[in-house]
Amino acid sequence: MKEILSGNEAIARGAYEAGCIVACAYPGTPSTEILENTIDYKEINSSWAPNEKVALEVGIGASFGGGRALVAMKHVGVNVAADPLFTLSYTGVNGGLVLVSADDPEMHSSQNEQDNRNYAKFAKLPMLEPSDSQECKEFTRLAFELSEQYDTPVMLRTTTRISHSKSIVELGERVTGLPVPKLVKNAAKQVMLPGNARVRHPLVEERCTVLSEQGSTMALNRLELRETGIGIITSGVCYQYVREVLPSASTLKLGMVYPLPHALIREFAASVDKLIVVEELDPFIEEQVKAMGIPVIGKEIISRCGELTPERLSAVFAKIGIVATGTPAQVQLDRNEPSLPQRPPNMCPGCPHRGVFFTLNQLKAYVTGDIGCYTLGFMPPLSAMDTCVCMGASIGMSTGVTKVVSAEERKKVVAVIGDSTFLHSGINGLMDMVYNQSPATVVILDNRITAMTGRQDNPASGFTLMNDPTHSVDLPLLCTALGVKHVRTINPFDLEQTRTVLLEEMNRPEPSVIITDKPCVLVKRAGVFERGPLLEVSEEKCTGCRACLKIGCPAIEWCPGDGKTGKALINPQLCTGCDVCRQLCKFDAIGRAK
């Protein structure tokens, strides 16, 4: 049977067909839908972990126990999981373990565009890179087999285009007859004390050599000889672009981008006149080919930044006099479609984060921020976020700032972090804050969900990925247990309360935590978010002072009127009745809709 699947759906299907029994992840674009699809297969125990390190550790446990395990994360998530990953490379596996790294060239939804192929080389483990959804499925299955055959975790790298594009996939059956998981002690292999690890390291090196040799005959590395004037080494989505732009060129399509199949590369180089590597981001393949003593064209014509497209690739080839002969579908589409209006990202109407950032702006706070929907607090008119580096960084950074500025400036320092991000990696920062008595104030924006990545549950939301009710972390109790003496809960829609509590805690020269307790408007369960009575603007009372526009709510529109005195208007389709704008109107012009 055939189905049209996205890359992420196909990876989930591949895991199912491979007999995978455990899947664990922390959400992050473009990887999130993998676990949102493994839940469709009841044979796979799927769960969200609080962060990527824990997700990988769950996978390692399942593998050591003898089951096949899939672990998924976005590229920056691998930084979080890197510690167990590097040593897992030494221990190897029992049941196959596949780690999906979903990279994001062009940073469609990320804070950097690191090239995670480097992780494969750094951690000395094989990495497969599919070029379409069919390969996403097949390579996932193959990755489990290679993992067990070579006793290694296998990384499967996708990019946003591969994760989110849809193409036809031929479905297969789930494998049967895999060994039944059971506890087997093997300390020499699984306890990485120096004495044991020293024995494992040479095996890791040998494994890389063997994989490189055997890679030359593996079907996933494919030599396609056509015209021999130009030969292109490529992988992933770039392979599709090369085929579209230069259909007559010979290609070496690498399905395994680490370790590289040296013999096959030499054979290809010897069969073509001019060798080019087409790859996004780092010169990962290029540098290794050059290190083999083979001259190759690469990053002198292709940018190290952003993603490629067929159009960009045509322009790249033109630089060295190669004329694109294909007619890429994408190019046609781009030229014919009218461009969409620009829509800057904005918090939703009724978002409980809005009032907090409005108040922080008014208090001229120095806000060490974090990653989530609330990062939009950086945008005008709220303009109340001063830093954003990585998940969980806000609290530690606030401590750092207070260590260097004057006593007066210290009072301005506020860390802002979401519930999911706090549980991901903010807890340690708070522990340090108490331990080292930082005077900063932490605001935990508890909207009961991991909103930014699509409303996934987390350990404080009370439900699992499978939608089963579970314990929900009591955030005030947790902060108290960490030693915070001043933990206060506020209603972020009450601007007066928000301002008073923020001011009190900012002025207190001790660690303090303020927790907001209103849910995300898009929270998926009934009864959590309640729409308030809708608001409307009285045309007579509105003076056109624009005070209500200062919160940047998309539900408030501006009617220019005769051009001199415009008036505000509340769109009833968008208003949630959060009541924040009413509190800003000095003329009592905003009230409940009749």
Ligand X SMILES: Cc1ncc(C[n+]2csc(CCOP(=O)(O)OP(=O)(O)O)c2C)c(N)n1
Q: Which residues bind ligand X (CB under 6 A)?
A: 26-28, 52, 74, 76-77, 80, 371-374, 391, 418-421, 445, 447, 449-453
**CB contact set of 348 (below 8 Å; sequence gap of 6+):** 521, 522, 554
**CB contact set of 253 (below 8 Å; sequence gap of 6+):** 131, 221, 222, 223, 224, 234, 235, 239
**CB contact set of 485 (below 8 Å; sequence gap of 6+):** 510, 511, 512
**CB contact set of 530 (below 8 Å; sequence gap of 6+):** none
For ligand X, give the closer residue by CB, 78 or 535.
78
**CB contact set of 516 (below 8 Å; sequence gap of 6+):** 352, 353, 356, 443, 444, 445, 446, 447, 489, 490, 491, 492
- Residue 340 CB, nearest distance to ligand X (Å)? 24
- Residue 341 CB, nearest distance to ligand X (Å)? 25
The phi and psi torsions of 110 (rounded to 5 degrees) equal: -150, 165
For ligand X, give the closer residue by CB, 26 or 239.
26
- Residue 101 CB, nearest distance to ligand X (Å)? 12
For ligand X, give the closer residue by CB, 109 or 196.
109
Dihedral class, residue 123 (left if φ above 0, else alpha if ψ from -120 to 50, else beta): alpha
Question: How far does the chain reach from its first CA to its final CA, in angstroms?
Answer: 56
Burial class for 181, CB neighbours closer than 10 Å (0-12, 13-18, 19+): middle
- Residue 519 CB, nearest distance to ligand X (Å)? 10
For ligand X, give the closer residue by CB, 285 or 347.
347
For ligand X, give the closer residue by CB, 91 or 516.
516
For ligand X, give the closer residue by CB, 416 or 575.
416
Start-end of H helices in 20-132: 33-38, 52-64, 75-91, 117-123
Q: How far apart are CA 412 and CA 456, in angstroms?
A: 32
- Residue 384 CB, nearest distance to ligand X (Å)? 15
For ligand X, give the closer residue by CB, 28 or 259.
28
- Residue 51 CB, nearest distance to ligand X (Å)? 7
Yes or no: say if 268 and 231 are a contact pair by the CB < 8 Å rule. Answer: yes
For ligand X, give the closer residue by CB, 255 or 349.
349
User: CB neighbours (10 Å) of residue 398?
Assistant: 29
Per the structure block, which two tokens stand in for 183?
Answer: 């506890």
- Residue 559 CB, nearest distance to ligand X (Å)? 31
- Residue 489 CB, nearest distance to ligand X (Å)? 16
- Residue 371 CB, nearest distance to ligand X (Å)? 4
For ligand X, give the closer residue by CB, 515 or 589.
515
User: CB neighbours (10 Å) of residue 254?
Assistant: 27
